[in-house]
Amino acid sequence: MRDRLPVTARAACLLAVLAFSGRAAAAGGPADPALPKKLEDFDAYMQKVVKDWNVPGIGVGIVVKDELVFARGYGFRDYGKKLPFTPRTTVPIASNTKLFTAVAAGLLVEEGTSSTTTS
C-alpha cells in the first residue's frame, strides 16, 4: 500500500517553505550572518512537520538570490523498505503543479505585479 500525503499537508509544507524562504531572501541572502540559524530553525520545523503530520517523505530546497542555500530530504522515499528521502529523490507531482501555479499567482498579486481582475 502506498501512503499519500494529504493535500492539506502538502499545502502546509509548501507554505512553510515559501514563508521561510521569503524571510531568508529578505534577510539579504547567503552572506546574511543570521541565515544559518534561520535554516537550522527551518530544519527543526520541517522535522516536526514530518513527525506531526505523519508525512512519509518530502524534499525541500531553498534558493536565495539564485543560490541553493538549503537542500534536505525528510522521512522515506520508500517507507516499507526504509529508503531515505534525499535532495536527489525524484517524485511524480502530477496535479500538484496547480497548487504551485496558484501560489505563484498569489505572490504576483501580493507584490503588485498582477491583479485578480487582470484579463
Match 485578480 to its residue by C-alpha cell.
116
Q: Nearest to residue 43, comparing CAs of 65, 64, 17?
A: 17
Please state the domain extents for the chain: 7-88
Beta partners for residue 84, in sequence order: 76
pTM score of the predicted model: 0.59
In this predicted model, what pLDDT tens digit does every residue of 76-94 receive, in sequence order? Answer: 999 999 999 999 999 888 8
Res 21 pLDDT > 90:
no
In this predicted model, what pLDDT tens digit does every residue of 28-70 receive, in sequence order? Answer: 555 789 999 999 999 999 999 999 999 999 999 999 888 999 9
What is the pLDDT at residue 1? 43
In this predicted model, what pLDDT tens digit does every residue of 100-110 receive, in sequence order? Answer: 999 999 999 99
Res 11 pLDDT > 60:
no
Q: Indicate the residue type of 30.
A: P
